[in-house]
Structure 1
Amino acid sequence: MRASRLLSILLILQTRGRTTAETLAAEFEVSVRTIYRDIDQLSAAGAPVYADRGRSGGFQLMDGYRTRLTGLTDAEAETLFLGGLSGPAAQMGFSGAVTTMQLKLLAALPPERQAAAERLAGRFHLDPVGWYQDADEAERLPVIAQAVWTNRPIAVRYESWKGEVARTLEPLGLILKGGLWYLAARAVGASRGEPRTYRVSNILELTVGEETFERPAGFDLAAWWAETSKRFEAEIFTGTARLRLTEAGLKRLAKLGVEQARIAAAAPVAAEGWVEVEVPIESVEHAATDFQRLGAEAEVLAPEALRVAMKTSAARLSTLYAD
């Protein structure tokens, strides 16, 4: 911890210039006396730190002294300042590490490029959560992140769509998708199968094991997630529905999903203003809920079970709003 603080102090002095002991103490949540000891330690290690006394005094580095990181071009370092990283990192318990990383990156840049990097961070921001939605409540995320990092199994009580289950998992990675956190993990058992996806907020209890496990050789989290997502989207549709829509209905259909948007874009509106399309559906229940958002701009023609579900829903609404 102290070694990390010493490096951070050195980088702060390099990027910010003269800084008071009180400011540094507040930055690292330590006492002013501790900062003075840290400065002595830096001086003993050869860092040219000196103090200016008085009301406008503080610590600073000798002119011309710079510590540089190698291996990053200016452009590469600048792009790592893109906003949005701090939020997910804080959720995982890595906010301090991100702050130190950004200081190191800033120190890697020459003075004339530091302003450009800070300007980039101030002009681009990543917000992964949809409108009118809150970030996923994942209070156990920091513990899981540490288990992922240290290759330690976790015993969990998990709420699945079938009910609560108990599992011992080997956590392989964390994914943030649309503001929701997911865990890629293998279940521990007689024979370890392929990794599966677990929503972090559905983990009700967990205990981290003392032992460690060996990660699958060559496991690529990004490639696995891309393949898993593609397979999930392909398998989720179990049937099709035939719809009759107006031009306004096509626009509403396009907002229901990627596949629906593709179908809507490829459907030419007939001269009478209506067009028929076939749309993949997950189930009659899900489709009935989704297609109610189309209002009177769409009519379900098939399957009959879905048409009946829509008629039943429309009748209930009519009764509810009748005088």
Structure 2
Amino acid sequence: MRMERLIGIMCVLADAQRTTIGALAERFEVSTRTIARDLDTLGQAGVPLVTFPGAGGGVGVVEGFKVRRDLLSTHDAAALYAVLDGLRSVDGDQAVTQLIARLVPGADENAQATASGPIALDLSSWFADGIAQEKLALLLDAVRERRCARIEYIARSGRSARTVEPARLVYKQSSWYLHAFCREREAFRLFKLKRIAALEVLGETFEPRDTPALALSAPHAPLLLPPDEDVPGTFLVELDYDAADEFALVETIDARFLERGADEAAGVARFRTDDAAWVQRLCGFLGDLAHIRKP
């Protein structure tokens, strides 16, 4: 959602002589601090911003600056279309379709040519009327309308009921998350949608808070390396498995680490890591799918 907002802000600035941070915040339904961070990001990206102090001041871009669509190469247009079409695959919002029409004219009419780029993004569920899609739709409305939600959440510590203030939806690797302010914990938390057992969007609304930046990389994430990369501090892990379970196993362990035995009926998963506790949790999660051989 932030990428869509940045593109929208850039288009507003290019089409108007000047505006105010307050007007941008109201237009994009975020806080003024969020708009200030967005403007800083655009400035660092090379957009020539200027500020106008005093009464009637505001922010704008240098005279003559325009978002020239003809500067987009075929590859650029395909990449931009892939990102926006990926957003549309989840949302289906007409505003995204209109944004595509403005930034990549003719893309939908000539979708085959535009979508022939090296990447295609579709973030929707494989299942019609899937549970994940239903949760996404409800939470997206809650984010936009600033409505509280009541969730029943399954965490490592157990199942609990929470009242949250939804701030944004986040897609990381292969899962959706809700970034929201948890009233029970009095802090922002990241909730995995698959772990939400029950969800109710409430009629109660909330005032937007200053949402902290997301740290999507764990500070102490375990290393996971090919077995031949003998990095200091890592150790070799070998897990035996039956070939019949290989398809289920690759849902958790990348196929790059799976090696078949000589008889083709069994195999071994081999990789290096630096986190013994993580290996123990992994073995517990896999259950009968794999059995630890080493260490």
Give the helix-richer structure, 1 or 2.
1
Give the strand-richer structure, 1 or 2.
2
